[in-house]
Structure 1
Amino acid sequence: MSDCCSAVSRNNGGAGPGEAERILPRGKAGEAILVKGGETFVGTHEPVLEIDGEGPERKVIIGDFLLEAETVTVRRFAAFVEATGYITEAEKFGCSAVFVDLMQDRQPAANSVTATPWWGRVDGATWKSPEGPGSSIEDRMDHPVTQVSLNDAVAFAQWVGGRLPTEAEWEHAARGGNRRRRYPWGDEEPTDTDVFCNIWQGRFPHHNTMADGFFGTAPARSFKSTEDGFYNLAGNVWEWTSDPFRVRSLSRQAKMRNEQARKNAEKVLKGGSFLCHKSYCYRYRIAARMGLSPDSASSNTGFRVAYDIRA
């Protein structure tokens, strides 16, 4: 998928050089919050971006589960890499997608994505050098880890004895249960001056006023949590889920999108990112979604871990 929210999905059918390895649980789980299941729903009857498959609303049944309060941080991912020697897919590919305005030196972004020139494929961009050689994570240890593919996220989750949430679980947690609201905090709309989360303020991509205090990612525990204790379920970084991406529509456009998603084995991401703005990428709503191939990674993609309830 190519749009303002993310760079183009890697088009290799999801068979990248680093399919998630089976890693024995050894890591330390993060703070996980119990989410009560039952009958709930996914999507909305009032979709804004129909081609993304936001609707129609549909009922689902989910069990109780645990979900971490925050996205996995750079510090935790670094511990995982140190303990296991894991090599991410961006490291194996040798490049990854970077939002070019995050780079002090724009030259490495010469290989920009044509339809979205604010994205560049940068050699050497990885989780530990998110904007390529010379960039550092030293002052971002409490920020969400980025430049991680779905396969990388699955490997980390297995290490701590967890898994990625389903789309239904993610939405259920974000809504605070079986109730309808547009955002994790309610229905009040963020604006360029009324800040609730880390998204773009101003005219994208030319000017970000940084009214929220951040140009790129924010610490994983920034802004007010939901009443249940979850942080940054809207904005900051997109979050991988375990569900295949699919648009439930019979339209010709939807069929074409589904064929693309099947070809690339795309998975659903939720929550939007620091690059979202209502004027062009209104995807920080709970029902909003995006699909990418499981080997894709970028400056604005991370994840959080879910856990099964064990008797």
Structure 2
Amino acid sequence: MKEPELSKRGKTGCCAPVEQRPGAGRDAGFLQSALQVPPASEAIRQELRARLKPITGGIFEMGTRRSSFADDLDSPRRKVKLTPYRMSPTAVTNAEYARFVAETGYRTVAEQEGWSFVFHLLLDNADRFTEFPPNVPWWRKVDGSCWSAPEGPGSDIKSRGDHPVVHIAWYDALAYCNWSGLQLPSEAQWERAARGGLANRKFPWGDELMPGGKYAMNTFQGQFPMHNSADDGWIGTAPVDAFEPNGFGMFNMTGNVWEWVHDRFGPLPAAGKLPPLDPTGGTEGYARVQRGGSYLCHISYCDRYHVHSRTRNDPDSSTGNCGFRVAAAA
């Protein structure tokens, strides 16, 4: 089955708000909170590490031949070399993050600030929430929304323990990593794992958007952003192990939620005579990279649901479609 045709609206920027909280220099407190999280016991750390799957090292081609969004800097393809590593087969779940919070008392950026952004179709009455960022009115500022109350006061995660935790800023992911003894994957590690051993393919399973005529990821169906038909079974997040895993046993590497990685945003590793070994991004810049797309990706607006797709956001930004997964050295 072919991808649906573009609407008259045409392709444009990412569907997520960017630079939502003023002032890149005001987040030193968030970093300090993340770094001060007490470590988990050795038994818990070993338990969490044991859940990771091994990913073979080697050379692979990163990026795409031609980018749909020049500002994403995801082209051209270039060879990268990685040493073996381990990575979580799923994004961190609500239940896993709740365990971390219960043990540490950590408060996320959204909790410290008192608000986050929620997609309007997930609200009972979006008209009640009149504040939204420029150019993306489908995001509404909701006081009290956070990882444990994804749609604001009165909502909860009781029936979503196996869904990815959302409203997570990069600092909140860093805090979990400091507690667990794990780390955010580098962007190169993330993409190699997402490709599942396939070379130069669009998706973790190949090139067809719907292999065999079936949905293989959680994205937006219908007319973005006003009507989601939920033909894939989900309007918001789906369980982290929904749909089939790829060749490396990784679930939902595209769609569902954007995933933070370690790297600062900038050009992909430079192509040279020898592939760069274990690149981790630049040392300058403020924004951090997010990978994989989310349940809001749609061909008519933001089709960043490919294995090479990338976007960026400030490390203190949180939205209802952003989470993370973890990795470790082999």
Deviation at 1:60, TM superposition (A): 1.9
Pick one of 12, 15, 30 that aligns with 1:5.
15
Which SS does the other structure have where 2:190 is aligned? helix
Pick one of 18, 21, 35 that aligns with 2:30.
18
Residue equivalent to 2:48: 29
Deviation at 1:213, TM superposition (A): 0.6
Residue equivalent to 1:230: 250
Give unpaired runs (5+ residues) of structure 2. Answer: 1-11, 269-283
* Identical counterparts, % of pairs: 40
Structure 1 counterpart of 2:15, one-letter code:
C
Structure 2 counterpart of 1:13, one-letter code:
A
Aligned residues: CA RMSD: 2.0
Residue range with higher mean Cα deviation, 81-90 or 41-50: 41-50
Residue equivalent to 1:253: none
**Aligned partners of 2:79, 2:95: CA distance in 1, in Å?**
37
Contact 2:14 2:311 in 1 (8 A): no
CA 1:102–1:274: 2 relative to 1, 3 Å: same
**Aligned partners of 2:74, 2:25: CA distance in 1, in Å?**
23
Contact 1:199 1:276 in 2 (8 A): yes
Which SS does the other structure have where 2:306 is aligned? coil
**Aligned partners of 2:189, 2:181: CA distance in 1, in Å?**
18
User: What whole-Å deviation, never above 9, does each CA across 1:69-126 have from its counterpart, x for those lacking one?
Assistant: 1000000000000000111111111111111110113245211223111001111111
Deviation at 1:56, TM superposition (A): 1.7
Residue equivalent to 2:9: none
Residue equivalent to 1:295: 316
Pick one of 55, 72, 77 that aligns with 2:97.
77
Q: How does 1:249-260 map to 2 (within 5 A)?
A: none
Pick one of 121, 138, 141 that aligns with 2:141.
121
Residue equivalent to 1:154: 174
Residue equivalent to 1:60: 80
Q: How does 1:1-311 map to 2 (within 5 A)?
A: 3-9=13-19, 10-13=21-24, 15-16=26-27, 17-19=29-31, 20-23=34-37, 24-26=39-41, 27=44, 28-29=47-48, 31-177=51-197, 179-190=199-210, 194-247=214-267, 265-309=286-330
Structure 2 counterpart of 1:306, one-letter code:
A
Which SS does the other structure have where 1:164 is aligned? coil
Deviation at 1:25, TM superposition (A): 3.7
**Aligned partners of 1:40, 1:196: CA distance in 2, in Å?**
24
Residue equivalent to 2:4: none
**Aligned partners of 1:108, 1:83: CA distance in 2, in Å?**
35
TM-score of the pair, normalised by structure 1: 0.89
CA 1:25–1:273: 2 relative to 1, 3 Å: same
**Aligned partners of 2:310, 2:301: CA distance in 1, in Å?**
14
Which SS does the other structure have where 2:129 is aligned? helix
Count of residues in correspondence between the two structures: 294
**Aligned partners of 1:14, 1:296: CA distance in 2, in Å?**
13
Runs (4+) of structure 1 moved beyond 3 Å? 25-28
Residue range with higher mean Cα deviation, 267-276 or 30-39: 30-39
CA 1:108–1:166: 2 relative to 1, 3 Å: farther
Contact 2:18 2:314 in 1 (8 A): no
Contact 1:38 1:62 in 2 (8 A): yes
Structure 1 counterpart of 2:87, one-letter code:
L
**Aligned partners of 2:134, 2:84: CA distance in 1, in Å?**
44
Structure 1 counterpart of 2:292, one-letter code:
G
Which SS does the other structure have where 2:138 is aligned? strand
**Aligned partners of 1:120, 1:86: CA distance in 2, in Å?**
25
**Aligned partners of 2:128, 2:179: CA distance in 1, in Å?**
34
Structure 1 counterpart of 2:324, one-letter code:
F
Contact 2:115 2:146 in 1 (8 A): yes
User: What whole-Å deviation, never above 9, does each CA across 1:34-65 have from its counterpart, x for those lacking one?
Assistant: 00112223211222212211112222221111
**Aligned partners of 1:121, 1:146: CA distance in 2, in Å?**
15
Contact 1:95 1:121 in 2 (8 A): yes
Contact 1:4 1:116 in 2 (8 A): no
**Aligned partners of 2:89, 2:170: CA distance in 1, in Å?**
19
Give unpaired runs (5+ residues) of structure 1. Answer: 249-261
